[in-house]
Structure 1
Amino acid sequence: MQRSPFRPFPSQLSPISTMVLSLFASANAWAAAGDPAAPLQVAEVEFNDQFLQRSRGESVDIARFNKGNVALPGDYRADIYANGVWLGLAEIRLRELSTESPDAQVCFDRALLERIGVDLMKLPAKAGARLLAAQAGECVTLGSLIPDATASFDNGEQRLDISVPQVALARTARGYVEPAHWDDGVTAARLQYDANTYYASANGVSSAQTYVGVNAGINMGPWRFRHNGSLSSSNQAGTHYQSVQTNLQRSIRHLKSQLTVGDAFTDGALFDSVGFRGVQLASDDRMYPDSQRGYAPIVRGMANSNARVEVRQNGNLLYETTVAPGAFEINDLYPTGYGGNLDVIITEADGTVRTSTVPYAAAVNALRPGITRFSATLGQYRNPTVGIHPVLFQTTVQHGFTNLITGYGGFVASPDYLAAQLGVALNTRYGAFGVDLTQASAHLEHEPNRNGQSLRLSYSKLVEPSNTNLSIAAYRYSSRGYLGLADAMALRDLDERSMGYAASGTQRARLQLTVNQQLPAGYGSFYMSGSSQNYWDRNGTDTQWQAGYSNSYKRLNYTMAFSRQLNTRSSKWDNRVMLTLGIPLGNHPQAPYSTTSLQSGSGSSPAMATQTLAGSLGGDGAIGYSLNASHSGANAGAASNTTAGANVAYTAPFASVSGSASRSRNYSQGSISVSGGVVGYAGGVAFTPTMSDTLAIVEAKDTAGARVTNGSGLRIDPWGHAIVSSLSPFTRNQIEIDPKGLPIDVELKSTQQSVAPTAGAIVRLRFETENPGRAAILGIQMPNGTPAPFGADVLDEQGKSIGTIAQSGRVIARGLKSETGRVIVNWGSDAGDHCSADYSLPKIDKTMRASYSVVSAICR
């Protein structure tokens, strides 16, 4: 396979010479301007060498610059771009079709046409015979197959740009990547960890909790083995390990689905999401283009101190972290199902615990016409809060019939429990409406059987005139005898133990609403989310909500937030209001940011004022810090209290480390957290401070310290590796290395690559580099003391071009294999238009980054 070094000649000339030759070379582009899609090298230009005469009036032969960086015949591995859209890497063949043009042409066959999305049925009749000739080995150009289509190969970037009229292409959705081009990645083992130690002492009582979350796995071809669990330890509850889920997964491309064997969660689009241990085949929306995917929830809340925040779903601990005082937002939560409420537990430094619930249900179940989403699950019911694990079977299906109507339904079956649902979603100009009815029946041994119905109405709408986004507006009414699967299993567990049903009752009606409103320019925005529900056999209504308004005035940012949460210590609802003012203390990107917040709560919650100063340090902002102080007023017989604390975080090349500490008259607190990931594969071991489910291993030899632009502070490690996290599966991801700061004697053949990984894949991207030898600035003089001819070609002893003479006889010569040697200067075709010069380079310290050596030489 043939590849050309990434070495454009203008970088070897002085600025003035570069400008002159660039002006000449621009004529090449003007010659092709009549056809915007035509390759730039279609026309040959002739430079006026009168502008480049030597001091003695002799002209310089620069005919070699009449053409660009031409490609030689051969096989290449190149990035394919069709109409500006990346389609992946592919092997292409270049052949010389004309002796008059030194530039080889790209050969096309049926496979390459299908890859770029050409509809073969739309090709002219003569194209069929040409494709048969291509199959027989003949080189067939794109223009001979499709009128007005062009193909241009960039030899330096190893990139093939193809322009094809839209009429010749098959119709696909924006962002679509052909499944044949999805990359399953390499065989590798991975470990993601997140550890947190939290200590607090309040009113003479000390408590310590340690949490270690792990997500380990092995990739082999399309198969993904994953284990997700957490180890928790405290001086009150002891130490225990909880396995959240262990499973084996793989993508089923032609069904646009995921096969899961082991522990997982059911799709919560129709029924509530529950845990199971068994087998599941379910549609994966990520396999559809970006325009056809769903949404993910955001967890918001408020903390009074350096608090510990837990996020649980169905009794499983999904996420734990330490947050600073004030409002917080968790937007990187990886949900385990499409539905099922998220329980948010905030533990303050003084031991106060508050809980809230983030409604997490699918939006209205409308689909595009012709799209089908399905799931089928068979296994054992799994919930750590109950002691029974009966067999479970669930299946659901949704199908878009027209732009207006989507139908859906499904059923759940388990011993002594059966539920069925039918529904319809209407996508109208007034918004998307959904209505469905679920019939459920549960048999109990020591309690009366339960039979009932549940009616759900949902609505979603973006009100364009006011730009109001109603993400979820849902109302559910359940009759007295209705039980969802989770409630039925909990009741059955109590029934089998003859403990009777809990006095909390069953849910009767529930209303949930999420609104996001962007106000006119200058008036800010606000959000509101909340839910209200009541129960059979229980008085009262539980209402919880959060709302906020944000705006700015010049450099001042301000937010007003409201919340209602349950205080588990007092079993009372706590209403809070918070005003936050923020302003940067300087114009530098890393200047400290000052935040002042005032909050007041109902009941026994005291008013509080908090001042925070936060910023970052280091060239990449790898060190983050914050200092905070707060004062709470006297309330309900309690004296006022003042607290001071600090947080610091460091994102190292191999891990992320953070710590916090705070102290007041009533309590003291401290925590240390560390997180990161490690990947082991055939090419070695690589570390990363952050890790997601789908990632790429970047390999670039001899480029240690080079910045990878896909992450803040992400750089190539000393072994030539870097891990790029947060890749989007089944879609195009572009990986780029910034060559700034590389050693002068190291060249990247390409600085960009693109990849479309499957879900959970660990893809391997090799960035080829050249280390051709030392680079030096040679000042070459003729025997009479005059500079060597401007524009002359400089060759090594093997006849390879290594530079071009610029002003004053200087040349940036690359690829000098030894410290002493000889170069040949050639400025014409006559026998006397050349000379040779011996050079001797100084020794360099191998531990230092390479730099240019400047030496003089006489050309004889």
Structure 2
Amino acid sequence: MRQPQFRPVPSQLSPVSAVVLSLFASTSAWGAVAEMDVPIHVAEVEFNDQFLQQSGDGAHIDISRFSKGNVALPGDYRADLYVNGSWLGRAEVHLRQPNAGGGVQVCFDRALLERVGVDLTKLPAEAAARLEKGTDACITLPSLINDATATFDNGEQRLDVSVPQIALARTARGYVEPRYWDEGVTAARLQYNANAYHSDSYGVSSTQGYVGVNAGINIGPWRFRHNGSLTSGTQTATHYQSVQTNLQRSIAPLKSQLTIGDAFTDGAVFDSVGFRGVQLASDDRMYPESQRGYAPIVRGIANSHARVQVRQNGNLLYETTVAPGAFEIDDLYPTGYGGNLDVVVTEADGSVRTSTVPFAAAVNALRPGVTRFSTTLGEYRNPTVQSHPVLFQGTVQHGFTNLITGYGGFVASPGYMAAQVGAALNTKYGAFGLDITQANTHLDHEPDRSGQSLRLSYSKLVEPTNTNLSVAAYRYSSRGYLGLADAMALRDFDKHNIGYPTNGIQRGRLQVTVNQSLPAGYGSFYVSGSTQNYWDRSGTDTQLQAGYNNSYKRLNYSLAISRQLDTGTNRWDNRVMLTLGIPLGTGPHAPYSSTSVQGGGNAPAAVTTAVAGTLGADSAFSYGLNAGYSSSGGGASSNTTAGANASYMSPVTTITGSVSKSSNYTQGSVGVSGGVVAYSGGVAFTPAMGDTLAIVEAKDAAGARIANGSGLRVDPWGHAVVSSLSPFASNQVEIDPKGLPINVELKSTQQSVAPTAGAVVRLKFDTENAGRAAILGIRTANGQPVPFGAEVSNAQGQSIGTVAQAGRIIARGLKTDTGTLLVNWGKDTGEHCSVDYALPKVDKKMSASYSVVDVVCR
């Protein structure tokens, strides 16, 4: 027979009572059920009740009910699961009492063991047979795994499990098994962004409107999406543009996404282009975060149970304990452009060994053993080209070792064909990437073109100076080489005999980015630049940017310099901008002021000052004020501007507005954005919408804050939309009960979910109307307060609290406005009495307030 369900129940002791009682306890077994090799009895707690004597009459208080603490009863619980200190979400926990008079035990079945992460193949044959038999007997964890323990805390509704690492299945950090991925519910969704803009400039008035939509329907694993925009204006006709429409779903065994319709190829091997057709491509999000990007595998040998630390530039990235023998660490998080890894092995006898693993993330580098692929078949899609030929593209990348990643691809279309092969190298001298592409283009009215493109990239963190050479890339293309986009444009021009593009065929391109951190207190600076020349036109496109950032106390300042060659006039345009910023106050809503001064080049010198801040408990209201002055010299062309903007994030939408005025124009705009989700449980609104969502359902919890978003609260209909979920990973969604009506209780405040990409998952937080709450001042017939520590129960015998100082109690769970309570502080005659209470009438809007009532105990 199934045991009754239990829910978390707060301790019935008042805070002061619990503290006082715990001070006088000689042993501690407060609310915990410990599981060992044999069932144990809960240790009794002894209190010295002499410390709890009432002044005046010396009444004796019976506190024997606290002798075994908050002991859990047999039943089924839903509790937080912690394994070796890490939270894994909530799980069903079964407590049974195998022996009469003994303590309850946590019972484990195959499902709970798999949830804990136990490798079932490592269980002894006898233990595995017991699981397979599936008897009604309670199977404890220590009987299955040596040195394993399970402790259930009834007060916290928490199960702590300790399992030796050798008995756990080896998985990367953050890994969630595909069978736990949630495809979500059937739902329709709409994300919108609307804006109206009006301006008067030099006597000409104009108004424009824009509405952008991202609409979709989820059915099982399928995701239908449509992006489009509607524009209208006083000088333009109303026009709707369909940007992209497709159907997608996840293919878990291949760690990939299937796309049917409009989409873009990735730019890992070839340049990204648009297509309309079918694509099957790897989805890196299906790997845990600790295995995305590039990081080397760290291998070594331990002579004992040793501690292994992985450090980079003095920062501790990873630490674990390994058994004697060979070990392997393959779940390091990627750390940008790197720095060599120092591996420190500390043996049990205290001896230390250190080794170095080179680490610099090259372009297209993958972890050893990881493969990425992409296959696309469809028609070429580009709104600037009239022709839409059939396109096929296939790419593959594979990490062979820590040193080498190989990649390549093939693309074909009528009149065009290209193939690429390349490698990424991770060495102690830095990360190198080298690839070569061969392309052939057929033209109807011009000679065919054939050529090669060679690309070399390099990145390195120079540790002695902490200089990060983030990107240094050079690409050389022969005269006959054309990329896919250039070839399609040229073939389109050639086919329709409308001339040839004048952008120029790229010959060489060099790009460099350097970031330098200076000693503490001296800030940092960056330098980046690029230069590019062409085969069929003169001139070189060159640009250079440099900047310096630092702070002094609360003042932040930066200096930015740019130098760009104007190929039209063959003249350099040089500009300099200095920016100063400081908070105007110290509170959480203190506004921030920034002032910038810029000049140089052909643009007029300008000074701009802006102040921005937020208001409200959730910073839902934000505002900004700005003013500026510009002049080209002598005041002949001076211009003064002033403006303001504001936005408000309500529970259902975001509203924005702005106004500005200058010597030459007047401008005003208003906008609204947000999202709507419709599903079988109703309709939910949100002020901001992402791709992967969770709908929180919490009846009667209107106004409760959702910890996953700034200003996000449960709406009056009991819904909230959490739009910041990471697909294929464990996400914790939490409700903060602060602000809930006193008579509403949440049975749980946190849930874990691992949605697939684009899913709309449904999370139901059960609530219960626990009745009214009141502060009762209870006195005896002679006017004395009832004894401290006396237990108060309702007419059904259910405890509702314990009397604290001055005979007062916070009584919760009063189902009716009038009734009778029983007060008991001993077993003898005269050590109990009854109370008739009558609470004042209140409406639901006042339910968050305590009623304070003085009563007499008969």
Give the TM-score of the pair, scaled to structure 2.
Answer: 0.86
Which residue of structure 1 lines up, in the alignment, with residue 67 of structure 2? 66
Contact 1:130–1:145 at 8 Å: present in 2 too? no
Aligned to 1:309: none
Larger displacement relative to structure 2 (280-289 or 62-71):
62-71
Aligned twin of 1:674? 672
> How big is the shift at 1:830?
5.2
Map of 2:747 onto structure 1: 749
Mark the CA change 1:33 to 1:722 in structure 2 (over 3 Å): closer, same or farther: closer
1:747–1:465 Cα change, 3 Å: farther
Shift of 1:717: 1.2
| Gap change, CA 1:110 and 1:572, over 3 Å in 2 | farther
Secondary structure of the residue that 1:847 maps to in structure 2? Answer: helix
Whether the aligned pair in 1 keeps the contact of 2:789 and 2:825 (CA below 8 Å) is yes
Q: Distance in 2 between matches of 1:414 and 1:31?
A: 71
Asked whether the 8 Å contact 1:251–1:257 carries over to 2, the reply is yes
1:606-655 residue CA offsets vs partner (Å, 9 max, x unmatched): 11111112222222222222211111112599511111111222222211
1:222 matched residue in structure 2: 221
SS in 2 for 1:238: coil
Instruction: Confirm or deny that 1:9 pairs with 2:7.
Output: no
User: Any idea what the Cα deviations from partners look like across 1:703-754, whole Å, max 9, x if unmatched?
Assistant: 2112222222121111111122221112222222222222211122222222
- In structure 1, what residue type is equivalent to 2:824? N
| Equivalent AA in structure 1 for residue 120 of structure 2 | L
In the alignment, residue 692 of structure 1 is paired with which amino acid? G
Which runs of no fewer than 5 residues in structure 1 stay unpaired?
Answer: 296-361
Alignment check: 8 A CA contact 1:705 1:715 kept:
yes
Instruction: Decide whether the 8 Å contact of 1:41 with 1:68 is kept in 2.
Output: no
Distance 1:32 1:105, change over 3 A: closer
What amino acid maps onto 2:641 in structure 1? T
Deviations 1:389-441 (A, max 9, x none): 11111111111111111111110111111111111111122222111111111
Q: Does the CA-based 8 Å contact 1:566-1:574 persist in structure 2?
A: yes
1:303-702 to structure 2, matched below 5 A, reads 364-563=363-562, 574-602=573-601, 604-635=602-633, 639-702=637-700
Q: Partner amino acid for 1:436?
A: D
The amino acid of 1:511's aligned partner reads L
Distance (whole Å) between structure 2 residues aligned to residue 248 and residue 572 of structure 1: 49
1:125 Cα offset (Å): 4.8
**What amino acid maps onto 2:594 in structure 1?**
T
Instruction: For residue 449 of structure 1, report the CA deviation from its aligned partner.
Output: 0.9
Alpha-carbon distance in 1 for matches of 2:481, 2:40: 71
Go from structure 1 to structure 2 and tell me whether the alpha carbon gap of 1:547 and 1:101 turns closer, same or farther (over 3 Å shift): farther
| Alignment-mate amino acid for residue 782 of structure 1 | T
- Work out whether residues 29 and 44 of structure 2, in 8 Å CA contact, stay in contact via their aligned partners in 1: no
Q: In the TM superposition, what is the alpha-carbon distance from 1:57 to its structure 2 partner?
A: 3.1
* Alignment check: 8 A CA contact 1:564 1:576 kept: yes
Of stretches 223-232 and 821-830 in structure 1, the one that deviates more from structure 2 is 821-830
Change (3 A) 1:428 1:757: same
- Correspondence for 1:823: 821
- Asked if the contact 2:279/2:376 (under 8 Å) is kept, the reply is yes
Give the alignment of 1:86-235 within 5 angstroms: 86-102=87-103, 104-133=104-133, 135-235=134-234
SS for the counterpart of 1:28 is coil
Whichever residue aligns with residue 503 of structure 1, its letter is T
Work out the CA distance in 1 between the residues paired with 2:644 and 2:627: 9
Amino acid at match of 1:709: A
Aligned equivalents of 2:794, 2:667: Cα separation in 1: 68
Tell me how far apart the structure 1 counterparts of residues 193 and 571 of structure 2 sit (CA, whole Å).
Answer: 33
Shift of 1:282: 0.8
Which amino acid letter does the alignment assign opposite residue 50 of structure 2? Q
Equivalent position of 2:82 in the other structure = 81
TM-superposed deviation, 1:195: 1.9
Secondary structure, aligned partner of 2:844: coil
Deviation at 1:152, TM superposition (A): 2.6
Equivalent AA in structure 2 for residue 161 of structure 1: D
Partner of 2:301: none
Q: Report the Cα distance in structure 1 between the residues aligned to 2:570 and 2:754, rounded to whole angstroms.
A: 50
Cα distance change on mapping 1:30 and 1:9 into 2, 3 Å: closer
Matched AA of 1:113: L
Q: 1:114 to 1:372 in 2, by over 3 A?
A: same
Distance 1:40 1:191 in 2: 57
Change (3 A) 1:85 1:280: farther
Counterparts of 1:686 and 1:486 in 2: how far apart (Å)?
A: 42
Partner Cα separation in structure 1 for residue 515 and residue 690 of structure 2: 28
Flag structure 2 segments of 5+ consecutive residues without an equivalent: 295-360
- 1:114 positional shift: 2.4
Aligned residues: 789
Residue 699 of structure 1 aligns with an amino acid whose one-letter code is E
Q: State the AA in 2 paired with 1:510.
A: R
Q: For the residues of structure 2 that align with 1:20 and 1:620, how far apart are their CA atoms?
A: 37
Instruction: Describe the superposition over 1:454-507 as per-residue Cα deviations: whole angstroms up to 9, x where unpaired.
Output: 111122333344443344332211111111111111111111111232233211
**Of 832, 845, 848, which residue of structure 2 is paired with 1:847?**
845
The answer on whether the counterparts of 1:87 and 1:177 sit within 8 Å (CA) in structure 2 is no
Q: Distance in 1 between matches of 2:63 and 2:571?
A: 86
Q: SS of the residue aligned with 1:487?
A: helix
Closer, same or farther in 2 for the Cα pair 1:123/1:5, shift >3 Å? closer
1:180 alignment partner, SS class = helix
User: Distance in 1 between the 2:387 and 2:31 partners?
Assistant: 79
State the 1:658 CA deviation: 1.6
Bigger mean CA offset, 511-520 vs 735-744: 511-520
Q: Which residue does the alignment assign to 1:57?
A: 58
Q: 1:833 to 1:34 in 2, by over 3 A?
A: closer
Q: Which residue of 2 aligns with 1:310?
A: none
- Asked if the contact 2:53–2:59 (Cα under 8 Å) also holds between the matched residues in 1, the reply is yes
Contact 1:622 1:713 in 2 (8 A): yes
CA shift, 1:140, in A, is 0.8
Mark the CA change 1:476 to 1:76 in structure 2 (over 3 Å): closer, same or farther: same
- For 1:431 and 1:38, the matched residues in 2 are separated by 58
Letter in 1 for 2:58: G
* Structure-2 change in CA distance of 1:172 and 1:460 (3 Å): farther
Deviations 1:156-203 (A, max 9, x none): 554433221112112222222222222222221111112222333333
Asked if 2 retains the 8 angstrom alpha-carbon contact of 1:87 and 1:181, the reply is: no
Residues 129-160 of structure 1, C-alpha deviations (whole Å, 9 max, x = no match)? 44235x23322111211122222334455443
TM-score, length-scaled by structure 1: 0.86
Summarize the Cα distance change of 1:40–1:262 in structure 2 as closer, same or farther, 3 Å threshold. Answer: farther
Q: Quote the offset at 1:829 in angstroms.
A: 4.4
Q: CA deviation at 1:685?
A: 1.5
Equivalent pair of 2:697/2:719 in contact (CA under 8 Å): yes
- Sort the Cα spacing of 1:526 and 1:842 in 2 relative to 1 into closer, same or farther, 3 A: same
Change in Cα spacing, 1:517 to 1:733, as seen in structure 2 (3 Å) is farther
Q: How far is 1:50 from its partner?
A: 2.1
CA distance in 2, matches of 1:731, 1:37: 35
Change (3 A) 1:161 1:61: same
Match for 1:106: what amino acid?
V
Which letter does structure 1 place at the counterpart of 2:131?
Answer: L
Equivalent pair of 2:775/2:850 in contact (CA under 8 Å): yes
Determine the C-alpha separation between the residues in 1 that align with 2:39 and 2:411: 60
Distance 2:264 2:741 in 1: 50
SS of residue matched to 1:539 = coil
Q: Which amino acid in 2 is paired with 1:379?
A: G
Specify the alignment match of 1:712 in structure 2.
Answer: 710
Please report how far the alpha carbon of residue 668 of structure 1 lies from its aligned counterpart in structure 2 after TM superposition. 2.3
Distance 2:170 2:780 in 1: 64
Alpha-carbon spacing, 1:413–1:149, altered in 2? closer, same or farther (3 Å):
same
